[in-house]
Amino acid sequence: MERLDKRVAGNLTRFYVVALCVVALLTISGLFLIRRTIRNLNHDSRVVNVAGRQRMLSQRLTKLAILKVNNIEHHDSVRFGALLALWKDSHEDLLSKKLPVDRGFVTWKSPPLDTMFHQLTPVFDRIYNNLSIIGSDTSGQGGRERALAEVLASEPDFLSRMNSIVFQFDKESFERLENLERIEWILDLMTILVLVAEGLLIFRPVVNTTRRVVRMLTESEDALQLSNQKLKESNNQLVETQKELLRLEEEKYELQLTEDRVRAGALIEGQEEERKRFALELHDGIGQMLTGLKLHAEKLKAVQFHDEKHQKRFDQLVVLIQDIIQTTRQISFNLMPSVLSDFGLASALKLLCQQAADLSGVKVVFEGETGERIQMSRPMEIGLYRIAQEALNNAVKHANADEIKIKLEQNKNHVVLEIADDGKGFLISNLKSEEGQFLTRNGMENIRTRTQLLHGEMQIISKVDSGTRLVVQVDL
């Protein structure tokens, strides 16, 4: 079957390429001849127009010469000298067989026309010389009258010869058309012969080969159906195997997710413990030492310094110590706020909003009940606080918002934390990967991980120039 396909394809391809090449060659040849003849005919019409114009110009010049010699007033606005120069230039162009048209030259080759133009030249020169005498201001009246007589005597001969030239141009154009018609008939006949040969040598073998191939396909149909039946049974077994592999992969993936959650939970728990320890060290250790240093420095204020510069530097030192104490307290609060363990999540979030507003200059509002503490586990309190802290930092740094709102409420056995701003917003599609997972951008991965560890649900709602809203819901 394969050898038959190759043999048939090779033979048909060769015949078909040859037939197409011949048809294309004949078609291109016909188009070339037609375009060339049309261009020549167009040039012939230009030459005939110029020749006809020469007749008109000679008659007009004769009329103007008569009016000029007899001093008769007329309304012809053209200048006699310019008209005479145009007549002479056109005759020289026709005589030299180069007629300027547009950007090129029209040329022709015809011995009869060359002979006729050379015979016309003496008559033209005689008329031109006498017209030049008439147009000259230095010629006398008698000379002009004799020149006019010569012009009137030569004009019929000039017009007769120009008529013969025009008729000769028309005759040669008609002969070229007849020649083109004969060539077109020959090309059409050759094209028909090529098409007939193509039908006999190409399409007929294609029909025979197709009939033979269809018969072979029909004979092999039963064998193909049997093979398909066996293949179907094999496919069923393969599908069952694939389902089993898919189930195993899903179990493996779930196990890996569980391990990742446990590992992330342990890591976050270790971080929180380390933050708590470090916050206590800052507050109880370095904070107390700085407070003592501040007390000693304030006691030294009573000492009078002899140098005013020393007094100024000492005052700056006291202010610097106070700034260090305040910064240390702020770092300790960010690491692990004591108000979170003493008064609960609502109070800690309210204090967080106040501090963020003071530091950033952005209006930060907290909505929630701070009087009654929501009963939840300590890991849940810390997780929700870190989520609010991360979201608030993102809003302050990236949202360009005028107002940020943090809302905490308890709905039956759910806790809902919402952080909303009126900033520039963003496209959610730019925040997700192809698999739909949130990318590590602006702390969103940390928020998503903490939400998963709390077995909660996270939702982000944002549009460009319409703000952003983050909602986290956790079961108590």
Burial environment of residue 139 by CB neighbours within 10 A (0 to 12, 13 to 18, 19 or more): middle
What's the pLDDT tens digit per position in 274-327? 666 665 566 566 666 767 777 766 766 666 667 777 777 777 777 787 777 767
**Residue at which a domain ends, from 196, 218, 240:** 218
Residues 425 and 317 in one domain: no
**What's the CATH number where 450 sits?**
3.30.565.10
Please state the rounded mean pLDDT for residues 129-145: 81
Residues 243 and 349 in one domain: no
Rounded-to-integer distance, Cα 143 and Cα 141, Å: 6
Residues 94 and 199 in one domain: yes
Residues 39 and 170 in one domain: yes
Check: CB of residue 197 under 8 Å from CB of residue 190: no
Residues 296 and 378 in one domain: no
State the pLDDT at residue 277.
62
Rounded-to-integer distance, Cα 359 and Cα 333, Å: 14
Q: Is the pLDDT of residue 59 over 60?
A: yes
State the pLDDT at residue 452.
82
Residues 29 and 157 in one domain: yes
Q: Which of 435, 419, 426, 429 is nearest to 473 (CA)?
A: 419
The domain total for the chain is: 3
Q: pTM of the predicted model, to two decimals? A: 0.40
Rounded-to-integer distance, Cα 321 and Cα 182, Å: 113
- Mean residue pLDDT of the chain comes to 77
State the pLDDT at residue 136.
80
Please state the rounded mean pLDDT for residues 5-27: 69
Q: Is the pLDDT of residue 405 over 60?
A: yes
| Residue 437, phi then psi, degrees to nearest 5 | -85, 145
What's the pLDDT tens digit per position in 65-110? 888 888 887 776 678 888 888 888 888 888 887 777 666 667 666 7
More confident residue, 369 or 127: 127
User: Residue 206 CB: number of other CB atoms within 10 A?
Assistant: 13
State the residue range of the domain holding 305.
227-336
| Residue 414, phi then psi, degrees to nearest 5 | -125, 150
Please state the rounded mean pLDDT for residues 345-359: 84
**What's the CATH number where 47 sits?**
1.20.120.1730
Residues 324 and 380 in one domain: no
State the pLDDT at residue 301.
66
